[in-house]
Amino acid sequence: MDDAFARLPSPPYYAVIFSSRRNGHDDAGYGEAAQRMVELAASQPGYLGVESTRGADGFGITVSYWESEEAIAAWRQHAEHAATRAHGRVHWYEHYELRVAKVERAYGKPEMKSRSPE
């Protein structure tokens, strides 16, 4: 299946919805750090997946998925992640919003689902 889509278990699970506007500075540094954070997140306990996109206007949405609120809290406290967030607040983002949500129901385009019962 299309790698942009997260392969997730059945709900419930948790989502961190991060919407942001890039300030147009330091594309190379930002790109490298974003890639590193995706890889680091994927190695954390309770990580389930991520979906992310950004338009040509610099507005982007990243949704990461987690087994529990405890997993989200642990990732938030990860030292390298915290340092990268602090750097990003100053250097990369004009603005951002972050929302933590509990996913209760999920549906996919039926004929394309790779996780249908066999």
Residue 12, preceding peptide bond in cis (omega within 30° of 0): yes
- Span from 25-33, 35-43, 96-104 in contact with a copy of itself (CB under 8 A): 96-104
Q: Applying CB under 8 A, which of residues 60, 67, 84, 87 lies at the interface with a copy of itself?
A: 60
What is the rounded distance in angstroms from the CA atom of residue 69 to the CA atom of residue 101? Answer: 9
Does 86 bind a copy of itself (CB under 8 A)? Our answer is no
Alpha carbon distance 106, 7 (integer Å): 12
Q: Under the criterion CB under 8 A, does residue 2 sit at the interface with a copy of itself?
A: yes
SS3 6: coil
Angstrom distance (rounded) from CA 81 to CA 38: 10
Interaction between residue 91 and a copy of itself (CB under 8 A): no
Whole-angstrom distance, CA of residue 103 vs CA of residue 10: 9
Q: Which of 27, 70, 80, 94 binds a copy of itself (CB under 8 A)?
A: 94
Cβ neighbour number for residue 69 with a 10 Å cutoff: 12
Window contacting a copy of itself (CB under 8 A); options: 28-36, 39-47, 57-65:
57-65
Question: How many of the chain's residues bind a copy of itself (CB under 8 A)?
Answer: 40
Binding site for a copy of itself (CB under 8 A): 1-2, 4-6, 11, 15, 17, 19, 21, 51-57, 59-61, 63, 89, 93-109, 112
